[in-house]
Amino acid sequence: MAIVAEEYCDLKERLLTVRKTSHFSPGDGFAAYDHRTGGLAFRADTYGRGHGGGAASPGELALLGPAGEPLLTVRRRRPSLHQRWEGFLGARADGQKALFSARKSSILGGAGRGAVVELAASAASELRVDGSFARRCCRVVAKGEDGEETVVAEIRRKVDAGARVVMGRDVFVLRVGPGFDAAFAMGIVLVLDQIAGHDADDADAGEDALHAKIW
């Protein structure tokens, strides 16, 4: 399922260690490292706060490749009754059509409950995310035209095998299934972090359901 580009759709399962970067405000910066090579695979940059540059506007988030090339740009749509986010391919240009969009649910409840996101992109499939991003325990499920569901990506807490210690929420593992676009998976991470990440310190945070319609 190529959403950003075919080159990010590995034939084998891909594991990324994702870490919030300390020199950004909470929710704005990530670095993702490939388990096979140990090298930097993706990073998230923010604009309008003294960081970054390029074509992005202030307040936008950019997903970059290891050499700093722009892959996705995520921005909050304004005005909007609920939190609504849009993602664009590469460095967003004026008049460019969004690759996907996301909104926060208006369902009432405790912190972390009812966080619902709808995404749209150019492909024939449907996606949803089950579980809780706040707890770093959720999975991306794709529904094919035949109705069959497949887990294409998963977010889980990282465990230090040597010390047998579960690491904090600032470091987690993103598992990307064979054939799924790893760059798009990181775009989902950025959206979830913006919408549900502020509930991460709430011990009673419930499930965050991300429903995605891929056109």
pLDDT digits (tens, 9 = 90+) for 166-210: 888 889 999 999 999 999 999 989 888 877 654 444 434 444 445
d(CA 163, CA 56): 41
- Residue 169 is predicted with a pLDDT of 84
Q: Which position has the higher pLDDT, 52 or 39?
A: 39
Is residue 50 situated within a structural domain? yes
Is residue 166 situated within a structural domain? yes
Is residue 1 situated within a structural domain? no
The overall average pLDDT reported for the chain is 75
Residue pair 129/141 in contact (Cβ under 8 Å)? The answer is yes
CATH code at 98?
2.40.160.200
pLDDT digits (tens, 9 = 90+) for 116-132: 455 555 454 567 778 88
Residue pair 19/31 in contact (Cβ under 8 Å)? The answer is yes
Is residue 116 situated within a structural domain? yes
What pTM, to 2 d.p., does this model score? 0.79
Beta strands in the chain (DSSP E): 14-20, 30-34, 40-46, 61-64, 70-76, 84-89, 100-103, 115-119, 125-132, 137-143, 149-157, 159-160, 165-166, 171-176, 208-214
Q: Which domain holds residue 151?
A: 6-214
Give buried/exposed letters for 184-204 (b at 16+ CB in 10 A, else e). Answer: bbbbbbbbbbbbbbbbbeeee
In the chain, how many domains are there? Answer: 1
Q: Which of 79, 111, 117 is nearest to 194 (CA)?
A: 117
d(CA 154, CA 188): 11
154 pLDDT above the threshold of 70: yes
